Amino acid sequence: MSARSLVLLGLSALAAAAPPSHNNEGEWQHEDEAKSSWKSKIKNVVVLVEENRSFDNFCGGFNYRNDIDGLVGKTFCNPVNASIPGSPTVCAKPIANDVALDDPPHGLSGVNYQIFGTFHPPSNADVSMEKMNGFVTEQATTFKSGGNATRAAEAINYYAPEHLRVFEALAKEYVLFDK
């Protein structure tokens, strides 16, 4: 099931479970109850579901809270070739492009390689095996970047907060779930 389908399913379930706020004549039902309920104060619910790479791409530079699992104050690097031990590495930087020249692969094999560094991780792979070290290799292989590690590194770069002022303001004012 795609993330979009999952979000639509969740929002549909939420709407179906909500009690009606108006009767057929447009009058409030249980007006006193509704006014005192926190639910009546919610005007809109916006859900933005992002994959791990997208979260780091958009929110990895946010540093207004210490518990955001982003990229600020950390060194996140990927080997240029994840299948060769000791391969040179490139590291994430706050220099994401507005439009990626090459969109990272989203298919199962590409994502397996990005997360596990192999196309065929064991079916019982545990969390300790998730190295997150195949993004640059998969990017370079898929788009034949000809050894241009800087271009392949676009898959792990992220925006600095000054590039996403509105997005960061919304996250600060409302809520940001990163786990």
C-alpha 61/C-alpha 74 separation (Å) is 10
Whether residue 7 is found in the same domain as residue 73: no
Domain that holds residue 33: 3-41
Position 99 in a domain:
yes
Point out which residues pair with 78 in neighbouring strands.
90
Residue 47: CB partners within 8 Å, gap ≥ 6? 7, 10, 11
Whether residue 93 is found in the same domain as residue 169: yes
Residue 3: CB partners within 8 Å, gap ≥ 6? 49, 51
Position 179 in a domain:
no
Contact 143, 102 (CB under 8 A): yes
Q: What's the predicted TM-score (pTM) here? A: 0.66
pLDDT at 89: 93
Whether residue 27 is found in the same domain as residue 60: no
First-last CA distance in the chain: 20
Q: Give the chain's domain count.
A: 2
pLDDT at 31: 56
Whether residue 66 is found in the same domain as residue 37: no
pLDDT at 79: 93
**What are the 10-residue block averages of pLDDT along the chain, 179 residues in total?**
47 52 55 66 81 79 86 90 91 81 78 86 78 88 79 88 89 77
C-alpha 72/C-alpha 88 separation (Å) is 22
